[in-house]
Amino acid sequence: MTNNWRDDLRLKLEDFVDTFVVNGAKQVDVYNAIQKELDSLRAAYDRDPDPTDDPGDVVDEPSNDWPAAQD
């Protein structure tokens, strides 16, 4: 893979930021909010890189437990 994905990422980020700026947000505020969310995502990934591997996420109850499903 080449660095073309980085160019595409930059263009999409610019478009993303512009979406909020056009709606009245300050560019620096959008950048700060994005950075805060990225930090949160990175911290969550560091704690649990693949949450689907967690055994505690198994649901042991049927999904059709509403009254009309009993008929």
**Confidence (pLDDT) at 3:** 78
**How many other CB atoms sit within 10 Å of the CB of residue 33?**
13
- Percent of the chain scoring above 90 in pLDDT: 55
Average pLDDT of the segment spanning 47-52: 69
**Confidence (pLDDT) at 47:** 81
**How many other CB atoms sit within 10 Å of the CB of residue 3?**
8
What's the whole-model pTM score? 0.60
Does residue 53 have a pLDDT over 70?
no
Q: Which residue has the tokens 């959008």?
A: 30
CB 22 within 8 A of CB 5: no
What is the distance between the terminal CA atoms of the chain, rounded to a whole angstrom?
55
